[in-house]
Amino acid sequence: MSDLKIEQYEYIEKLKRIVKNNYLETPSFCVVTFGCQMNAKDSEKLAGILELVGFREIIDENAADIVIFNTCTVRENANNRLYGRIGQLKTSFYKNENKIIGICGCMMQEKSEVEYVKKKYPYVKLIFGTFNLFKFAEILYEVISKDKKVYEVIDKPIEIVENLPMKNKYSFKCGVNIMYGCNNFCSYCIVPYVRGRERSRNADDIIDEIKLHIKNGVKEIMLLGQNVNSYGNDLKDEKCSFKDILLRVSNIEGLYRLRFMTSHPKDFSYDLIDVIKKSKTICKHIHLPVQSGSNKILNSMNRKYTREHYLDIINHIKSEIENISITTDIIVGYPTETEDDFNDTIDLIKQVEFDSVFTFKYSKREGTKAALMDGHIADDIVSKRFDRLLEVVREIADKKTKQYIGIESEALIEDIEIDKKMFVGRLDNNYLVYFPMSKKNIGDVVRVRLKEAHNFYFVGEEIV
Ligand code: SF4
């Protein structure tokens, strides 16, 4: 066990004692998550510690004794959303001065944001960043035991601290980090600055964690990393590529489904396509962000592939894996994007016929190369392009989903919706299907027939 981990477990024990002695009733916590799957995973780590030391989770941030905001800084408006929420907590803080409000995550890696919080929101008691999240128990102990504020952000990763407590949001599925950070420095992206360079987890640690999740009832695992395809490049003591770890995980006994996110087209190999094709557990869904269909823009974004290369991978995937679902991300209005560049993007989307496209308007992030570029596009032009893009994406989705009508498939029940009358299940290809509730439960796998297509989801029936 690493010294850092032993230390944190000691703080967890100290916190347990303090919580038992300081509160008459079981105190509550609320972790508010902004951003991506990596942040969602980090929030599960925070919740795991809070629950272990004696807090209970609630969803009302006004009522909670501890509220932690786990922030994202990928988009500009994320800051406004965060500060709005913190401002609203001022009243509940002054009603209960023992309330602890904390902020962590990517935004706190930016010095200017930390200064802003200190100045504008003096009732925030703890701040930490992405590199010392593993020290949450220690930081919280300092805050509670000494009744003081702790603002501790470091600008470099220390080491990967394994096996700290975790509380999975869902009992039947969970994400597992295989690596942290990113080396790619796409011109528009702040992630490498706030999450650091790539650090891969040891393969055996990943396997052990997944086996434990499966033992606890998890059916579906999503391997997480900013660029999973470069997993293993930095491992010194062992040789293990993303293909290798994917294969090892896919063969773990008891695993029903395996997904991964996010892939980078420059590193997506033909070998990987073969592994996906032959596996029974790896889902037939690939999310491969292209961002733009214009070579000029891709070059300026520092994406290190061309549209031809991207299309080549897609064609190979489609020819090898029948009925594969392919999704992507697109940024509209990147600096210097002309009508011709945008039309190249539309053309690529039509060629690939993506099952779904996550569309984003370019968001200027200070500290990135793109923020300093000339040629930022006016908002009204970006909005018009964005709407045109959505129209094309919807038309394609409409055509694609209709092809699935009548098909039978397995769905993992994830939720109950529509006046508590319908189950929401996820198919292997990542589409959702709504179907009338039966005696089954959330987390069960059922066979369904798809009856109606609604752009990005289906309505179906259970086959009994
Ligand atoms: S691959 Fe590019 S877009 Fe993705 S996290 Fe790294 S720098 Fe950001």
pLDDT tens sequence across 152-198: 999 888 888 888 889 999 999 999 999 999 999 999 999 999 999 99
How much distance in Å is there from the Cα of 263 to the middle of ligand 1? 10
Q: What is the CATH number of the domain that holds 455?
A: 2.40.50.140
Domain extent for 221: 173-399
How much distance in Å is there from the Cα of 212 to the middle of ligand 1? 30
Whether residue 66 sits in one domain with residue 148: yes
- Cα distance between residue 38 and residue 181, in whole Å: 10
Whether residue 145 sits in one domain with residue 229: no
Q: Of 399, 416, 435, which residue is a domain's last?
A: 399
Q: Which amino acid is at 86?
A: I
> Which ligand 1 atom sits nearest the alpha carbon of residue 192?
7
Q: Of 120, 152, 184, which residue is a domain's last?
A: 152
Query: Is residue 227 within 8 Å of 262, Cβ to Cβ?
Result: yes
Write down the pLDDT at residue 66. 97
Q: What is the pTM of this model?
A: 0.93
How much distance in Å is there from the Cα of 106 to the middle of ligand 1? 14
Asked if the structure places residue 208 within a domain, the reply is yes
Please give the tally of structural domains in the chain. 3
Nearest CA to ligand 1 atom 2: 186
Whether residue 439 sits in one domain with residue 367: no
Asked if the structure places residue 138 within a domain, the reply is yes
Write down the pLDDT at residue 226. 94
How much distance in Å is there from the Cα of 379 to the middle of ligand 1? 24
Q: What is the CATH number of the domain that holds 355?
A: 3.80.30.20
- Cα distance between residue 249 and residue 275, in whole Å: 12
Residues 6+ apart with CB under 8 A from 80: none
Q: Of 382, 399, 416, which residue is a domain's last?
A: 399
Whether residue 234 sits in one domain with residue 142: no
Asked if the structure places residue 166 within a domain, the reply is no
Query: How far, in whole angstroms, is CA 204 from its chain's centroid?
Result: 23
Query: Is residue 285 within 8 Å of 324, Cβ to Cβ?
Result: yes
How much distance in Å is there from the Cα of 309 to the middle of ligand 1? 18
Whether residue 415 sits in one domain with residue 392: no
Asked if the structure places residue 292 within a domain, the reply is yes
Q: Is 406 exposed, middle or buried (0-12, 13-18, 19+ CB in 10 A)?
A: exposed
Tokens representing 233?
Answer: 């490049």
To test the pocket of ligand 1, the residue of 184, 288, 290, 331 to mutate (highest count of ligand atoms within 8 Å of its CB) is 184
- Cα distance between residue 78 and residue 71, in whole Å: 8
> Which ligand 1 atom sits nearest the alpha carbon of residue 227?
1
How much distance in Å is there from the Cα of 448 to the middle of ligand 1? 37
To test the pocket of ligand 1, the residue of 109, 182, 262, 266 to mutate (highest count of ligand atoms within 8 Å of its CB) is 182
Asked if the structure places residue 205 within a domain, the reply is yes
- Cα distance between residue 337 and residue 232, in whole Å: 35
Residues 6+ apart with CB under 8 A from 278: none
Asked if the structure places residue 158 within a domain, the reply is no
- Cα distance between residue 275 and residue 283, in whole Å: 11
Whether residue 419 sits in one domain with residue 395: no
How much distance in Å is there from the Cα of 131 to the middle of ligand 1? 18
Q: Which has the closest alpha carbon to 240: 271, 212, 200, 267? A: 200
Asked if the structure places residue 290 within a domain, the reply is yes
- Cα distance between residue 279 and residue 122, in whole Å: 53
How much distance in Å is there from the Cα of 298 to the middle of ligand 1? 13
Whether residue 421 sits in one domain with residue 358: no
Whether residue 376 sits in one domain with residue 330: yes
Q: Which amino acid is at 406?
A: G
Query: Is residue 292 within 8 Å of 301, Cβ to Cβ?
Result: yes
- Cα distance between residue 53 and residue 8, in whole Å: 12
Site residues for ligand 1, CB cut-off 6 Å = 182, 184-186, 189, 191-192, 226-227, 264
Query: Is residue 144 within 8 Å of 22, Cβ to Cβ?
Result: yes
How much distance in Å is there from the Cα of 234 to the middle of ligand 1? 17
Write down the pLDDT at residue 324. 95
Looking up tokens 């439960």, which residue turns up? 441
Nearest CA to ligand 1 atom 1: 184
Nearest CA to ligand 1 atom 8: 189
Consecutive 10-residue averages of pLDDT for the chain (464 residues): 84 95 92 92 96 96 96 85 91 87 95 94 95 95 94 89 88 96 95 93 96 97 96 91 97 98 94 95 98 98 98 97 96 98 98 96 93 96 98 95 95 90 96 95 97 93 94
- Cα distance between residue 461 and residue 108, in whole Å: 46
> Which ligand 1 atom sits nearest the alpha carbon of residue 303?
2
Looking up tokens 């679902």, which residue turns up? 325
To test the pocket of ligand 1, the residue of 38, 73, 191, 229 to mutate (highest count of ligand atoms within 8 Å of its CB) is 191
CA distances to 45, 178, 232 from 241, in Å: 26, 11, 5
CA distances to 4, 13, 355 from 7, in Å: 5, 10, 47
| Three-state SS letters, the chain | CCHHHHHHHHHHHHHHHHHHHHCCCCCEEEEEECCCHHHHHHHHHHHHHHHHCCCEECCCCCCCCEEEEEECCCCCHHHHHHHHHHHHCHHHHHHCCCCEEEEEEHHHHCHHHHHHHHHHCCCEEEEECCCCHHHHHHHHHHHHHHCCCEEECCCCCCCCCCCCCCCCCCCCEEEEECEECCCCCCCCCCHHHHHCCCEECCHHHHHHHHHHHHHCCCCEEEEECCCHHHCCCCCCCCCCCHHHHHHHHHCCCCCCEEEEECCCHHHCCHHHHHHHHHCCCECCEEECCCECCCHHHHHHCCCCCCHHHHHHHHHHHHHHCCCCEEEEEEEECCCCCCHHHHHHHHHHHHHHCCCEEEEEECCCCCCCCHHHCCCCCCHHHHHHHHHHHHHHHHHHHHHHHHCCCCCEEEEEEEEEECCCCEEEEEECCCCEEEEECCCCCCCCEEEEEEEEEECCEEEEEECC
Nearest CA to ligand 1 atom 4: 226
> Which ligand 1 atom sits nearest the alpha carbon of residue 185?
7
- Cα distance between residue 189 and residue 106, in whole Å: 12
How much distance in Å is there from the Cα of 463 to the middle of ligand 1? 42
Write down the pLDDT at residue 1. 62
Whether residue 265 sits in one domain with residue 235: yes
Q: What is the CATH number of the domain that holds 52?
A: 3.40.50.12160
Task: Read off the pLDDT of residues 370-406 as tens digits, 9 standing for 90 and up.
Answer: 999 999 999 999 999 999 999 999 999 999 999 999 9
> Which ligand 1 atom sits nearest the alpha carbon of residue 262?
4
Asked if the structure places residue 71 within a domain, the reply is yes
